Homo-oligomer: A and B are copies of this chain.
């Protein structure tokens, strides 16, 4: 199992392992993830109202907490841990469309049902908002709606980036891009860019990059042989030749 990863994602997060909402009457005010999420757009005086809508929840590693086809009654904000968002084909082929980290937002749905599934990669903490209530809240606090639009735009840009990766990059370029991206992300969460944890399995990395586990593994080995990276543990990378890795990643 993967419980080992729990809490390793926010090494310097303060109040609770894995980060997350604080307890007490005003949990959102104490939320360690707030500064990097939607909730940042909420002014202090509106926080209690947001908190009233919020249900803080947890999911242990490998739990699927959103299944494609479910009624899309909720929106989510990840406060601790790592989540994978994915789609399946009928025969089981899986494409992971994104990994979510603390502060990331989830749940923008087109119809009344989710078109994707979401599974906890590590133990996860998240806040759940009922769509109905949140929509009301959004009407009253337009700033948050703007923020949502910004978030959606960012995700759209990221999605386009990922399409370039999936459609036009080689296995080496894909993995290099992934490592650079993950390093950046991890460092923003308090880990170092040079050495950081790799919370997801090889299979998940493969399903994110449009490859097989074997190819991911082989490419890791190549990179290690070429001294671009080191793998002190299976779930930890040290980038030893950042320029070379970045060059591979940004064939653009």
Contact = CB atoms under 8 A, between A and B. Distances in A.
Interface of A: 87-91, 93-95, 97, 108-110, 115-116, 139, 142, 145-146, 148-150, 152-157, 159-164, 166-169, 207, 209-210, 250-252
A252 B168 contact: no
Contacts of A145: 142, 145-146, 149
A121 B157 CA distance: 22
Contact of A168 (B93, B155, B157): B93
A95 B163 contact: yes
Contacts of A152: 108, 149, 152-153, 156
A155 B163 CA distance: 13
Copies in the complex: 2
- Per CB-CB distance, the 10 closest pairs between chain A and chain B, nearest first, are A167-B210, A159-B159, A152-B152, A166-B166, A95-B164, A89-B252, A108-B153, A93-B168, A97-B160, A166-B167
Contacts of A91: 251
15 contacts: A87-B161, A87-B252, A89-B164, A89-B168, A89-B252, A90-B251, A95-B168, A97-B164, A109-B157, A110-B157, A115-B160, A142-B142, A159-B159, A162-B163, A166-B166
Contacts of A89: 164, 168-169, 251-252
Which of A88, A160, A161 is most buried by chain B, counting CB atoms within 10 A of its CB?
A160
B210 A87 contact: no
Nearest to A68: B252
Contacts of A149: 108, 145, 148-149, 152
B252 A97 contact: no
A142 B95 CA distance: 35
A74 to B, nearest CB: 15
Which of A142, A155, A164, A251 is most buried by chain B, counting CB atoms within 10 A of its CB?
A164
